Structure 1
Amino acid sequence: MLKIGSTLLLEKTDVSNSEKYLRYRTKVIELADDAIYIDYPINEETKRTDIFPVGTVFKALYVTEEDNAYTFVTTLKGREMLKVPALMLSIPKEGEIRKIQRRQYVRISACTDVALYSEEREINPVSSITLDISGGGLSMLLPENHGFQEKMKVKLYLAYTLQKDGPNFLTAPGHIVRIARNDKSGKILASIQFDNIQERDRQAIIRFCFERQREQRKKGLQMM
């Protein structure tokens, strides 16, 4: 089901922090019996390419045209010069490819209004915008003088629009996984995971993600 032109999302452990994962986006440019050839992956956070030693292990994920998602483990085997410089990944056996649930993989770039409140202390709430969102959480911009910290329990008020239902909003509890300044833009980003979100709200977010994903595909944009 993996095809030339398919987008691959690659994930690997950060060597400087074993609890952090780095995510990359790439495309399949050639397929062989024993290898997958991809263009040089782009780091989703820095928007730059990284250097990987041979033997680097990735968790790979791809989505089919039918919106089914699959994941497998692959290893960097080497570098090749095709029409463009390419990396060569090991190709998994059929039994090593696993189908995964939608909520685990649909993360799209989306700019929508969000308000962030602390559940732990009296600090000023933040009204901002999201950068990306999935059924499991989101990332958003924070102002310079914010009072939020990593691991803090928070409440999110999120605005979104569905094609059939129109504008909506929901309330979601969560906690801050990471706060970091983007090296390229200089902006402060917060990654937030939903906690005990009601299933109807999670399904609404997943639906929103798939609708936006289809819109992006029509415009020729890539899924995040």
Structure 2
Amino acid sequence: MFPKVNDLVYIQVASASKKEAEKECKSRIADIEEESFLIEIPIESDTGKVKRLFIGDELSVYFLSDTGVKNYFNTYVLGFAEDVVQLVRIRKPEEDTISKIQRRNFLRVVAELELAVKLKDSTQFIAHTEDVGGGGVSFICDSKYVLNQGDLIYCWLLLPFKNGLIDHVPFEAEVVRTKSLESGRTTVMLKFVSISNLERQTLIRYCFERQFDFKNR
């Protein structure tokens, strides 16, 4: 079940700031296209201020059914359109992903990317990721590098886009879990502790580009 034109939608925007991520905004469906919704510029529910969105912003959205049940889906900003007022174009979700349960987890995709790692003792090495997402990454490294749950590390992730551009995303992360492999190497799972909103948006754009590639194979 999709929302209809003129239905209100309630939005939270993924952010490195917990305070910003918990803010709820409201908007309205202005038009429905084959693969997207056009919504009015969101307004913060508590302050009445306009919420500025950027291409690649990841959104947690819910709308109310005719019986008052909340229906949730995750989406992201595709772009903008001009009508009488400016509208925001967001990706229409697959209908079977709309749920009565809110899912706030960031998208993760399988990707083998180069990752420069710096440990707290200043040890530095190059590793390769297993997957990446807006909330963290996992990578494989030589077991000689000792990493423990709770360790903070600094990383620089290389993102190659299809248009030929290459971005470098710096971040600080916490080790969530490690797993020893039969090969003698170690898988390390990280969650972001400090990453700028701009860098997170860049990473999320890469994830959606990568996901689109998988869907079209």
Output aligned runs, 1:39-188, within 5 Å.
66-67=92-93, 70=97, 96-98=100-102, 100=103, 104-118=105-119, 120-122=120-122, 124-164=123-163, 166-182=165-181, 187-188=185-186
| Residues 1:194 and 2:195 are matched in the alignment | no
State whether residues 130 and 138 of structure 2, in contact with CA within 8 Å, keep that contact through their aligned partners in structure 1: yes
Question: Counterpart of 1:151 in 2: which secondary structure?
Answer: coil
Q: CA deviation at 1:201?
A: 0.3
1:143-196 deviation line (CA, Å, top 9, x unaligned): 02113222111101100022346111121111111111246x664100011112
State whether residues 161 and 167 of structure 1, in contact with CA within 8 Å, keep that contact through their aligned partners in structure 2: yes
Instruction: Give the Cα separation in 2 of the matches to 1:160 and 1:127.
Output: 14
1:91-140 deviation line (CA, Å, top 9, x unaligned): xxxxx343x45xx231100011001111x324x22201000010000000
Instruction: Give the Cα separation in 2 of the matches to 1:71 and 1:157.
Output: 34
Structure 2 partner of 1:214: 212
Q: Give the total of aligned pairs.
A: 132
Instruction: Give the Cα separation in 1 of the matches to 2:140 and 2:161.
Output: 23
TM-score by length of 1: 0.51
Question: Counterpart of 1:195 in 2: which secondary structure?
Answer: strand
Deviation above 3 Å: which 4+ runs of structure 1? 61-72
In the alignment, residue 124 of structure 2 is paired with which amino acid? Answer: P
1:43-93 deviation line (CA, Å, top 9, x unaligned): xxxxxxxxxxxxxxxxxx997993469576xxxxxxxxxxxxxxxxxxxxx
In the alignment, residue 156 of structure 1 is paired with which amino acid? Answer: C
Distance 1:169 1:181, change over 3 A: same
Unaligned runs of 5+ residues in structure 2 are: 2-71, 76-90
Instruction: Give the Cα separation in 2 of the matches to 1:170 and 1:179.
Output: 22
TM-score by length of 2: 0.53
State whether residues 133 and 204 of structure 2, in contact with CA within 8 Å, keep that contact through their aligned partners in structure 1: yes
Distance 1:71 1:179, change over 3 A: farther
